[in-house]
C-alpha cells in the first residue's frame, strides 16, 4: 500500500486551481497525496511556472505536436503510466477527454466545475460562460462542484459541492472570482485529499 497517492494535474492556463492544491499540500490540508506531475496542453500556461516554482515535474503535450486527438491522448496516458499516477485532476484543462481515455481511469479523474451541477453544465459551459448563464437566469445561488469525469462533459458522479451567494451588481468576472475563492479553491483540495485517502487506504 502506498503512503501517498501519486497525483497528476492537467492544466491549460493560469493554474489558480493548481495553486490551491499546492497550497493545501503545503499547509497540511492534503496529507495523502503527492503532486507527481503537472501536464499542460499549452506550452505557455502559467500553471507550468507554478509547478516549477514548487519543484513539481512538468510535461507539455500538445495535439498539434502529436498530430491528432488520439495520439495526444495516447501520449498523456503513456506519461501518466510512467509516473505511476493514481489520481488525475483536471484543473482548467481545456480539452474534452474521449471515452477511451476516461474508461481507462474509472473514478480516478476529477474535475471542478464552476456551478452547482446539474445547473449550467455540459458541453459549451466553461469559464465565464457558466457565470454569464447563471446571471442571465437570475439564480440567487451558484457555486462549484467537484465530480468524477466520464465521457459526458460534467456527467460523472458528484463528489463535493459548495454554494456561493450571488450578490447585487455581480458581473460574470466578479462572480467567477468569488466562486473560485469561496468554493473551487476549497472543495478541490478537499476532494483530492478525500480520494487520495481512499486510494491509499488511509
Of residues 78, 87, 30, the one with CA closest to residue 54: 30
Instruction: Write the pLDDT tens digit of every residue in 111-121.
Output: 999 999 999 99
Question: Is it true that the peptide bond before 51 is cis, omega within 30 degrees of 0?
Answer: no
- pLDDT computed for residue 2 by the predictor: 85
The number of folded domains in the chain is 1
Compute the distance between CA of residue 175 and CA of residue 67 in angstroms, rounded to an integer: 37
pLDDT at 91 over 80: yes
pLDDT at 1 over 80: no
Residues with catalytic annotation? 113
Q: Tell me the average pLDDT across 82-103.
A: 95
Instruction: Write the pLDDT tens digit of every residue in 5-37.
Output: 999 999 999 999 999 999 999 999 999 999 999
Q: Which residues contact 33 (CB under 8 A, 6 or more apart)?
A: 4, 5, 6, 7, 25, 87, 192, 193, 196
- pLDDT computed for residue 202 by the predictor: 79
CATH number, position 136: 3.40.50.170
Compute the distance between CA of residue 23 and CA of residue 47 in angstroms, rounded to an integer: 14
Q: Tell me the average pLDDT across 188-199.
A: 98
Query: What domain range is 78 assigned to?
Result: 5-200
Percent of the chain residues topping a pLDDT of 90: 96
For the four alpha carbons of 192, 111, 160 and 105, in that order, the dihedral sign comes to negative
Average per-residue pLDDT for the chain:
97
* DSSP run (H or E) holding 81: helix 69-82
Question: Are the C-beta atoms of residues 65 and 33 closer than 8 Å to each other?
Answer: no
- pLDDT computed for residue 46 by the predictor: 98
DSSP state of 83: T
Instruction: Write the pLDDT tens digit of every residue in 145-180.
Output: 999 999 999 999 999 999 999 999 999 999 999 999
The cell numbers describing 75, all together, are: 501520449
Compute the distance between CA of residue 31 and CA of residue 86 in angstroms, rounded to an integer: 15
- pLDDT computed for residue 112 by the predictor: 96
Amino acid at each position: 500500500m502506498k503512503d501517498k497517492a501519486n497525483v497528476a494535474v492537467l492544466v491549460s492556463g493560469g493554474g489558480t486551481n493548481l495553486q490551491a492544491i499546492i497550497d493545501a499540500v503545503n499547509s497540511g490540508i492534503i496529507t495523502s497525496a503527492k503532486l507527481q506531475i503537472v501536464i499542460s496542453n499549452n506550452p505557455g500556461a502559467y500553471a507550468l511556472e507554478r509547478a516549477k516554482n514548487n519543484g513539481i515535474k512538468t510535461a507539455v503535450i500538445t495535439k498539434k505536436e502529436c498530430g491528432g486527438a488520439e495520439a495526444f491522448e495516447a501520449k498523456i496516458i503513456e506519461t501518466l503510466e510512467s509516473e505511476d499516477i493514481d489520481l488525475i485532476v483536471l484543473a482548467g484543462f481545456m480539452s474534452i477527454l474521449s471515452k477511451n481515455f476516461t474508461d481507462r481511469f474509472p473514478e480516478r479523474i476529477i474535475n471542478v466545475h464552476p456551478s452547482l451541477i446539474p445547473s449550467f453544465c455540459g458541453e459549451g459551459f466553461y469559464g465565464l460562460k457558466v457565470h454569464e448563464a447563471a446571471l442571465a437566469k437570475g439564480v440567487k445561488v451558484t457555486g462549484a462542484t467537484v465530480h468524477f469525469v466520464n465521457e459526458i462533459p460534467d456527467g460523472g458522479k458528484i463528489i463535493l459541492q459548495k454554494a456561493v451567494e450571488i450578490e447585487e451588481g455581480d458581473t460574470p468576472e466578479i462572480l467567477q472570482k468569488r466562486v473560485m475563492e469561496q468554493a473551487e479553491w476549497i472543495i478541490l483540495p478537499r476532494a483530492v485529499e478525500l480520494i487520495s485517502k481512499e486510494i491509499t487506504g488511509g
